[in-house]
Amino acid sequence: MKAVGLVQILNIGSLNLDNVYRVSSFAKPGETVSAKNFSISFGGKGLNQSVALAKAGAKVKHLGVIGYDGNDLKVALEEAQVDVSLIRKVDIANGNAVIQVDDAGQNCIIVNAGSNDCLTEEQIDAGLRQMQVGDMVLLQNETNKLAYALERAKQYGLKVVLNPSPINEALLAVDLQTVDLFVLNEIEAEFLTSMSNVKPEILLNSLHEKYPQSDFLLTLGERGSVYFSNGKILEQHPYEVKAVDTTAAGDTFTGYFLASIANEKDVKTAMNIASAAAAIAVSKHGAQSSIPTLNKVEKFISEFENDKLLDD
């Protein structure tokens, strides 16, 4: 599908080889469990989000680093119609992850940065120079040079979007005042605000007090999502499906939301499209392979609305 949006998106993100183990339940400390099956797939929050952006119709460039064993990751992005001209190769092992997926579709992930820690300031600047004022830069916390990318993106006049995952203490040392939009879940919001077991509205108000320049898209899993901007809140209820693997659900949601915004959809419409895309993703196994095309998402929404009319 040809991207039609006016806004380009530069995703400075990770590229991982995912080692996925299907298990009945997660291994506990000191326990050895037998996997039902094993597979190697392509992932990393960066790659997943770039694939979701492209499948949703966005113009997306991916800036990242692969290792000597990571050529297939670049090919996967090319096949998804992502611009890979800003991907560099280094002579070390690629970033990788060990993922347990249980019978309920939940996941447990260990990530090794590998080549994802090899971004350079020169590489970041080369990517930013290709963008225009008003374009979008998407960042996560799975690569090095995050602070530099945040600072330079703002200097180039770009809209900065941060998915602060995985959340950790090192992120608190980074100046996040340049972020225009945070896309985060409750755990990440609680970490940034030092709050726990509070209502989403309280979390969002606390985030706004800490980062008054930013908007916030808070994902709530089975309870949907909430968007906060200038004191106003928009809510999106989830589409109910049987979850078999939640590995790329958040990345799918992020990519589809940002692509919809880039293609001039309003926030409420973007949230609905993103919610539908994530619902499809959790109903399939795998990370990048579970991300649906825009046509499938639109068909899913249409069928849901028709069923709702019949029920009424």
57 is in an annotated binding site: no
Query: pLDDT at position 287, please?
Result: 62
Question: 131 falls in which pLDDT band (50, 70, 90)?
Answer: very high
11 is in an annotated binding site: no
| Domain-embedded: residue 263 | yes
43 is in an annotated binding site: no
| Domain-embedded: residue 31 | no
| Domain-embedded: residue 133 | yes
66: left (phi over 0), alpha (psi -120 to 50) or beta: beta
pLDDT of 308 > 80? The answer is no
- The token pair at 130 is 């290709």
pLDDT of 72 > 80? The answer is yes
Q: What is the rounded CA–CA span in Å between residue 112 and residue 18?
A: 10
Query: pLDDT at position 97, please?
Result: 87
Helices (H) and strands (E) in the chain, counts: 10, 13
Q: Is the pTM of this model over 0.85?
A: yes
| Domain-embedded: residue 245 | yes
Q: What is the rounded CA–CA span in Å between residue 273 and residue 62?
A: 22
pLDDT of 289 > 80? The answer is no
| Domain-embedded: residue 39 | no
Q: Which whole-number Å values give the CA distances from 241 to 101, 144, 173, 222, 302, in the listed order?
A: 17, 36, 39, 10, 15
> Which of the two residues, 140 and 106, has the higher pLDDT score?
140
Contact 227, 234 (CB under 8 A): yes
Residue 305 belongs to domain with CATH number:
3.40.1190.20
| Domain-embedded: residue 25 | no
Percentage of residues of the chain with pLDDT beyond 70? 96
Q: Are strands 95-101 and 107-112 parallel, antiparallel or unpaired?
A: antiparallel
pLDDT of 290 > 90? The answer is no
Number of domains the chain contains: 1
pLDDT of 239 > 60? The answer is yes
pLDDT of 283 > 90? The answer is no
pLDDT of 54 > 80? The answer is yes
CA 230 to chain centre: 24
Average pLDDT value for residue range 126-141? 97
Where are any strands of DSSP class E within the chain? 8-12, 16-22, 37-43, 59-66, 83-89, 95-101, 107-112, 136-139, 159-162, 181-185, 215-219, 225-229, 232-236
Q: What is the rounded CA–CA span in Å between residue 176 and residue 193?
A: 13
46 is in an annotated binding site: yes
Burial of 169 (0-12, 13-18, 19+ CB in 10 A): exposed
Average pLDDT value for residue range 29-47? 92
pLDDT in tens, 190-204: 999 999 989 999 999
CA 134 to chain centre: 20
| Domain-embedded: residue 103 | no
What residue type is assigned to position 34 of the chain? S
| Domain-embedded: residue 27 | no
pLDDT in tens, 160-197: 999 999 999 999 999 999 999 999 999 999 999 999 98
> Which of the two residues, 276 and 106, has the higher pLDDT score?
276
Question: 3 falls in which pLDDT band (50, 70, 90)?
Answer: very low
Q: Are strands 16-22 and 95-101 parallel, antiparallel or unpaired?
A: parallel
Query: pLDDT at position 295, please?
Result: 95
Residues 6+ apart with CB under 8 A from 79: none
Question: 2 falls in which pLDDT band (50, 70, 90)?
Answer: very low
Query: pLDDT at position 4, please?
Result: 45
286 is in an annotated binding site: yes
Question: 107 falls in which pLDDT band (50, 70, 90)?
Answer: confident
By annotation, the residues acting in catalysis are 251
185 is in an annotated binding site: yes
Give the domain range for residue 163.
Answer: 9-15+44-94+114-311
Average pLDDT value for residue range 115-130? 98
Question: 245 falls in which pLDDT band (50, 70, 90)?
Answer: confident
pLDDT in tens, 198-229: 999 999 999 999 999 999 999 998 899 999 99
Q: What is the largest CA-CA distance in the chain?
A: 60
- The token pair at 144 is 């090095």
Query: pLDDT at position 286, please?
Result: 62
310 is in an annotated binding site: no
- For residue 185, give the DSSP letter: E
